Structure formats: structure tokens, C-alpha cells
Structure 1
Amino acid sequence: MRLMLERNRFELHFGIINKTDVDMWGCAYCIMDDYGAEYNLCIEDGKDNSAIYLMRRDLSGNWDTDGSRFIPYKVTFGKGWKKELRKAMEKFIIENADFEQESDKLTISHYLSHFKDYSENDDICLKRHRKRYNLTDPIIAYYRTWDDFVEDWCDNTGFTNSEARKMLHGGKGEFKKLPNGHGIVRFLV
């Protein structure tokens, strides 16, 4: 399967469900580097057997879903369900992907070093942020601009601009705006 997602993105593809038996693959995709997760909505005889499955990009750029690596996950539709699903998928990828050198793969430098304006000041800012919020988990996304952030959270996930702004300034340390307009990073919290 060839997905049109960029790296570190999340997309939803839920349709209208009006049957008692449903087996819908690809209801959501979450991509992080060469690994991803696919959400399968599966209801059989009234029992929810839905799950998140691990995916990997092969050398030709196609995605393969590993049917043997999954966790059961039931979406509870209500306030915040999209964000909760995204977090669960990201956490699943990080815990299950075979990153060759995980400590190098999910670091600040992996996401930011290829930008010529990334500076030592940005690095210091992120270290302070990690310490303030006691964050040990990796950076999982980088948004170059506010428009990039809005595209990911509003256009792809369905949040409003005000909801996205509230998440950015939510106080949990999940997001950090870099100084001098160098972008926004997202930590796994």
C-alpha cells in the first residue's frame, strides 16, 4: 500500500458505521519516520475487536502492515477521542518499532539539525523545557510554522484553530515553540 502521508503525520478515515459487523482497515494512520500504525475498526457479533497494527515502509517506499504486531484499542467517541487515538498510535510505534539506534533516531538533532537556522539557543531552550516538565520521552514531531501545525491538527485531524491553539498552550509540556520563530516541537507525553 502506498500512503500519501508525510513523515510524522496523522490522518483519519472513519466512515459512517451503521452495521453490527464492521471490519474497516485504514480508519487512521500515524506515520513516524519509516514506521507507522494503522487502526482497524472491527466489530464482530457486537464485540469490539478493534486494534492498532504496526506498519513499516519497505525500500521501495510502500507500506506493509504487520498482522502479528498489534494492541487492542477501542475508540471511545467523545471529547478528545482523536487526540487520544493519535497518542495511543504514536506510543505504540515508539514501543514496538525496531529502530536501529533508537537513541539517535528520535532525538532533537534528528528532527531539527537539517534546518540551517537551528541553533544552540534552540537546543538550550528544549533542554530547559524537558527539565521543567520532567520529559524523558522523545520529540515525535516538528512543525516549521504555525500553518504547518494547523494543517496537521486542523486539516488532517479535524480540530478547530482555537482547539489547536489551546493544545499548543495547554500547559502539559507536550508542545514547545522555539525562539526566533524556529518552529514548534512536540514531545510524547
Structure 2
Amino acid sequence: MIMVIEDVDLVGRSRDDISGQKAETRLNRLLNEMDGLGEDLDILIIMTTNRVNSLEGALAARAGRVDVVLEIPLPDDDCRERLIERYGHALNFQGEALAEAVARSKGDSAAHLKEMVRRLAQRTIARGGSPVISREDVEVVFSPDEAVLCPLKGHEETLRRHIIEQEDEDDSGCC
């Protein structure tokens, strides 16, 4: 059996960052459940996070809970080019459009690249459906305007505070 806990930092963040009883209860429950798994069980637990440094040490570093940690780095230029071509297989990049997309996407994740290619496709549909991507299309879609690229970028701390406040206000009894 394979169990996936995506964004485990939302449940397993460091006790130093936990402000409410419910969040600590969730963390303790996760740790206890992981400890309670029998060694003879055939279970693979996969946890994902973009915030490794925010994880509770008892979760991230304790032998028996986590046996292997894999970091998947951000794609390099060659990988970003291949990802853009793969996600945009139905698009026709003209001239230097693909090279421009690769250059403008430095430091972006594969998921972000996929979203940008989706937006390029939407732009072609709005123009009448021709799947031709120009350098101008890339400049518009991959613009440095952070509000266009990622509406939450730069607001992570506000978002985290909001999540913590919601946990403190939530009295549903759910852990």
C-alpha cells in the first residue's frame, strides 16, 4: 500500500511555528500514527513539501519515520526547454519564442512551467485558435509582473498567518 501526504508541512510544521492546540494535536496524531505502524506492514509513505525547513524535527529527522529524503531540484535550462516542449507539444513556437520562454523561466518549477504553457495556449485560443507562439506571446505570459504569474507570491507569510488564525478560530472538534 502507498500512502501520500501532500504538503505535509501544513500538518507537520515545526512546533515553534504552531500557535494553536488543534495544529499541535494534528501533528501529534500524525507522529503517533506513524509510530504505530507495524514493521511487518507493507506500507510506503510518501510525503511532499516545498518547505523542508519548516517541518517538525521529530517528523523529518527521526529514523523509522523517514527512511529516505529526496530533493527534486528546480529544472535547469535544458530540462525547462524539454518541459515546455512537452507541455506545449501542440503549440508551434516561432523564431526565438522557445529560447525566450526558457530564459524567462529560470528558477521556475515544472508545475509553474506547465501553468505558463497553459496560459500560452489560452492566448492562442483568444486570438482565434492558431497554435503559433511568438516571442511577444512569451513576453506577455512570462512577464515579470508577479501578480500575473503567481497571485500569492510575496504573500506567503500573510497566508501562513491566515491559516494559523483559522486553526485557532476553528472549534469544530476535528483534529
The TM-score normalised by the length of structure 2 is 0.28
Indicate the structure with greater helix content.
2
Bigger Rg over Cα? 2
The TM-score normalised by the length of structure 1 is 0.27
The one of the two structures with greater contact order (alpha-carbon pairs below 8 A, sep at least 6) is 2
